[in-house]
Amino acid sequence: MHNSAIQEVVRTYMLAWNETDADQRYQLLTRCWGADAVYVDPSVQLFGRDALADRISIVQSKRPGSRLEFVSGIDTHHSMVRFLWRVARADGSFGDTSIDFGEVGAGGRLEKMVGFFGAPPSIPLI
């Protein structure tokens, strides 16, 4: 799969996170998210498209009017991706910059996404 195709899959994934209509969100996820794909972030571990669709709905209900936005390009190599994003809140403020790492499967959909929230930890002083 070419890098441009992988980048399009990731853009569709981000569109799904911002789509408020459940049916349209699921259609987007069908295009970009594997049926048995794994999603992991500090607060949850999910398996499958239905579980991710439900999680997006829960997150949206806790942050009405907020959107996720890219704060970097989409970096790709082989079948791997990474990108930075943040929450743009309804009041115009922003959340911390976070990073996601993902893998696109042979079928052209994301099969794994691992998210880290906020800045990385500081190096401890010795």
CB atoms within 10 A of CB 120: 7
Contacting residues for 44 by C-beta, under 8 A, at least 6 apart: 55
Compute the distance between CA of residue 102 and CA of residue 10 in angstroms, rounded to an integer. 9
Sequential pLDDT tens for the chain (126 residues): 788 899 999 999 999 999 999 999 999 999 999 999 999 999 999 999 999 999 999 999 999 999 999 999 999 999 999 999 999 999 999 999 999 999 999 999 999 999 999 999 999 887
- pLDDT confidence of residue 92: 96
The model's pTM is 0.94
